[in-house]
Amino acid sequence: MSVVDRVRELIAPIVEDAGADLYDIEFAGGILRILIDHEDGIGIDDIKRISRATSHMLDEADPMPGRFTLEVSSPGLERPLRTEDHYQRAMGEKVKIKTLTEIDGARRFEGKVVTVDADGVDLITPSGSQRFAYTDISKARTVFEWGPTPKLGGPKKDRPNSEEAMS
């Protein structure tokens, strides 16, 4: 069993008991990164509570040799996509994919996720529909699209005119 699988087995009940979802676990370069999520978003209090409980569990069970740094956070607005479940959650969203090798002369693609199955993902890109096998993807993430910038000062009707302000 890999370190990540062992950690997942140990902390999944902690995350579930806190009412959150275990989005992903990464262990690289001495950093154990645990990403948690919730359909209504994850707050700092949730992260602190899960981080403390996870730290205690890992100290007791000692699933990894040596020292490591524990990071517990949300996956963020532009979340990494590594598993079929990640792509399922991103259904209908815009994503960026980088492939291991060139496909039709390119390695970087952007489009909307339209189909996900056990073998790969289909995107609608500006050039049409494109199929990507998971084994061909080196990196992928969702793309957060910012809305229009609000005008400073808000709408005029909410601001008092100069006469009202002086009364």
Radius of gyration of the chain (CA): 22
Instruction: Specify the pTM.
Output: 0.75
Q: What is the mean pLDDT of residues 8-19?
A: 95
Q: What is the mean pLDDT of residues 122-136?
A: 95
* pLDDT value of residue 157: 56
Residues 48 and 98 reside in one and the same domain: no
Residues 7 and 69 reside in one and the same domain: yes
* pLDDT value of residue 167: 47
Tell me the residue range of the domain where 129 lies.
84-142
Domain end marker among 52, 73, 94: 73
Residues 88 and 134 reside in one and the same domain: yes
Neighbouring CB atoms inside 10 A of 21's CB total: 17
Q: Report residue 22's pLDDT band, with 50, 70 and 90 as the boundaries.
A: very high
Residues 63 and 89 reside in one and the same domain: no
* Residue 26: inside a domain: yes
| Residue 54 structure tokens | 């996870």
